[in-house]
């Protein structure tokens, strides 16, 4: 198992949760809502998706502190049928809305075979996989989608009008194994481009375009006037397919829910209006279909893993395997590894909020 990278500091998982609770509590977030957010952010970092964990904590703090996100109240069901529901998130924290919706979808799937729940009035919810896995943990197939700020430039265009619009599908195998797809419909996450910019490194081709709509390896050109590319990159390498998938997510989320959609979604890192994100949560009971689902799911995953690796590779993985490796590494080392610069930033946030600082592993 790989060791902690040089310059990394270990923080126990429970301390990550408690630190988020302390910070959110300092700006008046009710304890259950702070815990919902804390669990989602910790899960993102534990699974190795650092762009969506503690890295975003200050954003949530500022949204609550400014009143841009509502701290009190609960989501409400506006329209409901046996297998569907339309929920108003009432501008609460994204994980609060999303837990409510996925829990509702799970209950409906157990009763009707499927639960399809769509929400408007939501906010950033961390990783999509956190919610699809809630269904998989109960033997169901889970799906989670959200629209996001318009950062992605459609094929043949020069202006971003779609979000990175993630898709997550999780399905249980046997003995705790599972398939967990959690992917953006852009070629990469915005956070990766931001990290390259901070480090002064060029980005790979297919990650973004400049203000003229041309592919660029300069992160600043992408971040300042350009935009991200859809999954697949340019048209010749299938970027129009990622563009189509992003539109599909928009259909399920902003358009179906009546929330903000496409270019109408609030710009990233701005507070000129509420986010009003649209989100979609689906739970499916495999028992409503052919028997033996988990056996076949496990067989398919094992089939892929047992393939002969390509020259220069050591093994074939399935969706969710890299995250399992990262979690095992965290467990072995007794905590989640954070870069020293991120620790410094979080300690500054704690000082600003006058809460107990983040405690590293002894």
Q: Give dist(CA 329, CA 229) in Å, integer.
A: 32
Please give the Cα distance from 266 to 78 (Å, whole number): 23
Is the per-residue pLDDT at 5 higher than 80? no
**What does residue 27 show for φ and ψ, rounded to 5 degrees?**
-105, 15
pLDDT at 4: 53
Task: Quick: pLDDT tens for 173-192.
Answer: 999 999 999 999 999 888 78
Q: Taking Cα atoms as reference points, which of 269, 200, 261, 267 lies closest to residue 60?
A: 269
- The phi and psi torsions of 299 (rounded to 5 degrees) equal -60, -40
Q: What is the pLDDT of residues 338-360, one digit of tens each?
A: 999 899 999 999 999 999 999 99
Supply the pLDDT for residue 211.
96
Kindly state the percentage of the chain with pLDDT values over 90: 91
Give the range among 43-47, 160-164, 212-216, 271-275 with minimum mean pLDDT: 271-275
Query: Per-residue pLDDT tens for 287-339?
Result: 999 999 999 999 999 999 999 999 999 999 999 999 999 999 999 999 999 99
Please tell me what DSSP assigns to residue 155: T
How confident is the prediction for the chain on average, in pLDDT?
Answer: 95
pLDDT band, very low/low/confident/very high, at 95 (cuts 50, 70, 90): very high
Per-residue pLDDT, 337: 97
131 and 168 Cβ atoms separated by less than 8 Å? yes
> Is residue 1 predicted with pLDDT exceeding 50?
no
- Would you state the pLDDT for residue 2? 44
Mean pLDDT score, 197-204? 91
Its pTM surpasses 0.85:
yes
How does residue 6 score in pLDDT terms, banded at 50, 70 and 90?
A: low
């Amino acid at each position: 198992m790989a060791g902690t990278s040089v310059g990394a500091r270990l923080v126990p998982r429970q301390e990550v949760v408690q630190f988020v609770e302390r910070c959110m509590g300092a700006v008046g977030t009710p304890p259950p809502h702070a815990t919902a957010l804390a669990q989602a952010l910790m899960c993102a970092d534990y699974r190795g998706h650092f762009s969506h964990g503690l890295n975003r904590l200050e954003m949530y703090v500022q949204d609550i502190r400014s009143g841009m996100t509502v701290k009190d109240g609960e989501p409400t069901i506006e329209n409901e049928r046996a297998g569907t529901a339309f929920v108003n998130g009432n501008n609460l924290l994204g994980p609060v809305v999303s837990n409510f919706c996925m829990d509702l979808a799970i209950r409906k799937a157990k009763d009707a075979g499927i639960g399809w729940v769509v929400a408007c009035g939501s906010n950033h919810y961390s990783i999509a996989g956190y919610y699809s896995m809630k269904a998989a943990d109960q033997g169901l197939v889970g799906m989670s989608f959200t629209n996001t700020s318009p950062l992605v430039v459609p094929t043949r265009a020069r202006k971003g009008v779609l979000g990175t619009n993630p898709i997550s599908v999780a399905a249980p195998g046997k003995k705790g194994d599972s398939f967990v797809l959690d992917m953006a419909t852009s070629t990469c996450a915005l956070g990766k481009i931001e990290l390259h910019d901070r480090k002064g490194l060029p980005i790979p081709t297919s990650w973004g375009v400049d203000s003229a709509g041309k592919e660029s390896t300069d992160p600043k050109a992408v971040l300042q006037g350009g935009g991200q590319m859809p999954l697949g990159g340019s048209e010749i390498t299938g970027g129009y397919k990622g563009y189509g998938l992003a539109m599909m997510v928009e259909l399920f989320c902003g358009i179906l829910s009546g929330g903000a959609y496409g270019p109408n979604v609030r710009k990233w890192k701005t507070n000129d209006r509420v986010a009003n994100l649209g989100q979609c949560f689906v739970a499916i009971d495999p028992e409503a279909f052919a028997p033996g689902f988990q056996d076949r799911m496990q067989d398919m995953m094992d089939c892929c893993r047992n393939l002969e690796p390509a020259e220069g590779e050591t093994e074939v993985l399935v969706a969710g395997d890299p995250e399992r490796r990262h979690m095992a590494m965290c467990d072995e080392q007794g905590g989640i590894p954070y870069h020293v610069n991120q620790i410094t930033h979080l300690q500054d946030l704690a000082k600003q909020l006058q809460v107990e600082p983040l405690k590293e592993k002894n």
